[in-house]
């Protein structure tokens, strides 16, 4: 049984860990029951800037799991928090993204504009309605020195028919047009995890990053100085582990195996 005695808090990925597509994965209710009974603090952290914390909450609620919106950190919310450390409140921002990203930026005290001239930052999350005009506005602002922030670097995302351009592909287009690299907030960069660890009021090395992808969840956790656990119910398969330079501290077949490992220890 893996020794998780020094773990005080968890930062947990969503897709591939709690559910896959529309289907809840086995053991998810028991997993949250254990965390809540033992008072193990956690944050659910996702690279998806188009996800709204309220929607994630409602989805969990339908599964019989009660989590507060403060316990859900999307890359959109993390980007808004990050900008609070870089810009003064009220600064104007040009955002390409769906409603949850824009809401997070406004809630963080920024004002969003339609016209990118003079903005302090350009924030790009996935927007499935975005147009060439928006890319042009963003490129012009980046060229004149606006901070260029990307919520997450995922170059594709899956739909029924296959892989389609994700936020990373839009960022790549803007980088090609401007010669400026975006600052990335989501995994595998450490900002999203570091914010989660700060919220959990623990040290990185006492927090466990739980995820299903080596190159995002596990690498990001390592960059943030956390312990890492790979769950094999999502993207990364066991046979890929042998040849990867990214090695997690723990590997679990599924959530029930992680739950049993956590139960093996009374956490203070
Ligand atoms: Mg995942």
Each domain of the chain, given as residue ranges in start order, spans 9-47+187-263, 88-184
CA 116 / ligand 1 centre spacing (Å): 33
When pLDDT is averaged across residues 20-44 and rounded to a whole number, the result is 95
Give me the residues paired with residue 156 across strands.
165
15 is catalytic: yes
Could you report the per-residue pLDDT of 159-176, keeping only the tens digit for each? 889 889 999 999 999 999
Let me know if domain 9-47+187-263 sits in CATH 3.40.50.1000: yes
CA neighbor of 77 nearest in space, from 197, 192, 168: 192
When pLDDT is averaged across residues 126-141 and rounded to a whole number, the result is 96
CA 211 / ligand 1 centre spacing (Å): 6
Among positive and negative, which fits the CA dihedral 83, 87, 91, 94? negative
CA 26 / ligand 1 centre spacing (Å): 15
CA 49 / ligand 1 centre spacing (Å): 14
CA 154 / ligand 1 centre spacing (Å): 11
| Coil/strand/helix, residue 137 | helix
Buried b (16+ CB within 10 A) or exposed e, 237-247: eeeebeeeebe
Could you report the per-residue pLDDT of 195-229, keeping only the tens digit for each? 999 999 999 999 999 999 999 999 999 999 999 99
When pLDDT is cut at 50, 70 and 90, the band that residue 147 belongs to is very high
Q: pTM of this prediction? A: 0.94
Q: Which two tokens stand for residue 90?
A: 């009220």
Q: Are 38 and 6 in contact (CB under 8 A)?
A: no
Please state, in angstroms and rounded to a whole number, the distance separating the CA atoms of residues 70 and 227.
22
Q: Are 122 and 141 in contact (CB under 8 A)?
A: yes
Asked if 9-47+187-263 and 88-184 have one fold, the answer is yes
Torsion over CA of 162, 240, 29 and 70, rounded to 10 degrees?
Answer: -80
Is residue 268 scored above 80 in pLDDT? no
When pLDDT is cut at 50, 70 and 90, the band that residue 267 belongs to is very low
Q: Which residues have a beta carbon within 5 Å of ligand 1, which is an ion?
A: 13, 15-16, 212
CA 47 / ligand 1 centre spacing (Å): 9
Q: Which fold does the domain 88-184 belong to in CATH?
A: Rossmann fold (3.40.50)
Helix boundaries (H) for the chain: 28-37, 53-62, 75-86, 99-107, 132-143, 167-178, 191-200, 219-223, 238-241, 255-263
When pLDDT is averaged across residues 25-53 and rounded to a whole number, the result is 96
Angle subtended by helix axes 99-107 and 75-86, to nearest 10: 30
127 is catalytic: no
When pLDDT is cut at 50, 70 and 90, the band that residue 131 belongs to is very high
Query: pLDDT value at position 265?
Result: 66
Q: Which of 41-55, 86-100, 153-167, 228-242 has the lowest mean pLDDT?
A: 153-167
When pLDDT is averaged across residues 69-78 and rounded to a whole number, the result is 97
Instruction: Name the residue with higher pLDDT: 161 or 2.
Output: 161
CA 234 / ligand 1 centre spacing (Å): 6
Is residue 28 scored above 50 in pLDDT? yes
Catalytic pick from 15, 127, 154, 217?
15
When pLDDT is cut at 50, 70 and 90, the band that residue 22 belongs to is confident
CA neighbor of 121 nearest in space, from 149, 84, 96: 149
Catalytic pick from 3, 13, 217, 268?
13
């Amino acid at each position: 049984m893996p020794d998780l005695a020094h773990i005080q808090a968890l930062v947990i990925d969503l897709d591939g860990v709690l559910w896959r597509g529309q289907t809840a994965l086995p053991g998810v209710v028991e997993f949250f029951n254990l965390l809540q009974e033992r008072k193990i603090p956690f944050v659910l952290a996702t690279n998806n800037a188009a996800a709204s914390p309220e929607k994630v909450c409602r989805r969990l609620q339908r599964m019989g799991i009660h989590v507060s919106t403060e316990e859900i950190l999307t890359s959109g919310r993390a980007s808004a928090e990050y900008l609070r450390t870089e810009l003064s409140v009220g600064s104007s921002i040009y955002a390409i993204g769906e409603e949850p990203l824009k809401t997070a930026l406004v809630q963080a005290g920024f004002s969003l504009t339609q016209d990118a001239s003079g903005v302090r930052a350009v924030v790009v999350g996935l927007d499935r309605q975005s147009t060439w005009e928006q890319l042009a506005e963003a490129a012009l602002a980046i060229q004149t020195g606006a901070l260029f922030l990307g919520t997450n670097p995922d170059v594709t995302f899956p739909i029924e028919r296959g892989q389609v351009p994700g936020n990373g592909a839009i960022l790549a287009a803007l980088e090609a047009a401007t010669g400026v690299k975006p600052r990335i907030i989501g995994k595998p960069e450490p900002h999203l995890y570091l914010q989660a660890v700060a919220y959990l009021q623990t040290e990185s090395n006492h927090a466990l990053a739980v995820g299903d992808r080596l190159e995002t969840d596990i690498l990001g956790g390592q960059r943030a100085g956390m312990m890492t656990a790979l769950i094999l119910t999502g993207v990364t398969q066991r046979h890929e582990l042998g040849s990867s330079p990214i090695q997690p501290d723990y590997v679990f077949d599924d959530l029930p195996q992680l739950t049993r490992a956590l139960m093996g220890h009374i956490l203070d």
